[in-house]
Amino acid sequence: MSIKLGPAGVPLSCKGRTIVEGMDDIISLGLETMEVQTVRMVAPQHFEQYWQAGVLANKTDFEMNIHGPYYSELLGGKVERGRSLAKIEATLQAARTINARHITLHTGHYGDFGRGQAANEQVANVFSGIVDRIHEIWHDDEDEFPVFPWIKNGTPSKIGVETSGRQELWGSLEEVLEVVNHVEGTVPVLNIAHIHARGHGQMRTSEDYGELFDVVRESIGTKEFYCHFSGVEHRTGNAMHYTQIKKSDLNFEPLAEFIVEDGGWLDITLISDSPLLEHDAMYMMQNIEKSRHKQLERKAREDRRRALALQTGKSEEELRSKEAQIAQARKTTSQPAEPAKEAPAAEPAKEESAPAKAEKAPKAKAGKAKKATAKADEKDEDDVFDFDEEDDDLF
């Protein structure tokens, strides 16, 4: 199993804003990849730092990836499609310069095609042309091999077709898999936040992730996965905007559990799209380590239970039941006992003798005062142990 995590862009904590400085910070955090953002345009002056990043990535085996323009109209008219392909051309050139492993691209609105086979065929034709173009760029000029050594010895970037997060945009999981199945050189980019939003919050458990990765594996026969992850606010099957992971109903823990428990066959790259970038990438890494720790603890308990079963002659089920009883007993004893309430003070006995009637009134008053004092003391003591629900607000 291979897992690489990193942010979508230069880390927020990076003092410098160049890609190379961002790579240094990412490596120092223990992360292993990043996705360069060319979401609007690629300025010519950026190519110097792209080349420096490519050289560093080639020397350190750091995985570089790149994201194309956010706004594309590959299903639009001739003019709109040509404008989008011109922007993508700049991204392809940048991908070659930085030695990108994946190029993530959006398709855009359904346009006049609407949903269906016609739209899928058009998208497949467009991406087939993009794959041909990246191969041309990669092997364009052999004179540049000394400057770009990874071009001579490496393979062209894989063209990633990203799942979309809105109903009016082409890019459901089924549509993406159909195109990738028909166009060699393309891979699906599983944006988990988009899949979750488009499915009305469907990614809830580790089983949900198991089904997702099984569908992709059975459809295109791959063990390599390129994924985006972040929190997301969504309504009526549409992603509204990204959020930090802890602020979303899309939790990372189930995915971490699946990766550790059942994802031994995976070669997965996880890019943090969260507004917190590297902070949530670190959060994902910590959750994966936590799941690994839980797995080791469980295996240790099972080994200990198996050895004890051989020694005592009891079955593992009996020992497991005994462990559960002990755990429940510890839980019960660890809960604080409720304080016992004091009994109310006894009323003074009535005098039977007639002469005492004269003194009855003052004594009764004294008795009432004493009783009131006792009740007040009792109430004060009860207040000490009276846990109102409002106390929960402190935590």
| Residue ranges per structural domain of the chain | 2-296
Cα–Cα dist 134/58, whole Å:
19
Per-residue pLDDT tens over the stretch 94-126 = 999 999 999 999 999 999 999 999 999 999 999
Classify each residue of 243-256 as buried b or exposed e, where b means 16 or more C-beta atoms within 10 Å of its C-beta.
bbbeebebbbebbb
Confidence of residue 312 (pLDDT cuts 50, 70, 90): confident
pLDDT of residue 340: 54
pLDDT of residue 362: 45
Contact 65, 101 (CB under 8 A): yes
Contact 266, 233 (CB under 8 A): no
Residue 325 has pLDDT above 50, yes or no: yes
Interhelix angle 206-220/173-182, nearest 10 degrees: 30
Tokens representing 60 are 């350190």
Nearest to 95 by CA among 125, 135, 129, 147: 135
Residue 368 has pLDDT above 60, yes or no: no
Nearest to 35 by CA among 258, 166, 189: 189
Contact 193, 165 (CB under 8 A): yes
According to DSSP, residue 25 is labeled H
pLDDT of residue 145: 67
Phi, psi of 345 (to 5 degrees): -65, 140
Q: What is the mean pLDDT of residues 8-23?
A: 92
Per-residue pLDDT tens over the stretch 36-68 = 998 666 666 677 888 899 999 988 889 999 999
Residue 12 has pLDDT above 60, yes or no: yes
Q: Which residue has the higher pLDDT, 40 or 327?
A: 327
Q: Which amino acid is present at 36? A: V
- The CATH number of domain 2-296 is 3.20.20.150: yes
In 2-72 the beta strands, taken as DSSP E runs, fall at 2-7, 33-37, 63-67
pLDDT of residue 105: 97
Confidence of residue 219 (pLDDT cuts 50, 70, 90): very high
Q: In angstroms, what CA-CA distances link 86 with 40, 69, 83, 133, 285?
A: 12, 10, 5, 12, 37
Average pLDDT along the chain? 84
According to DSSP, residue 110 is labeled -
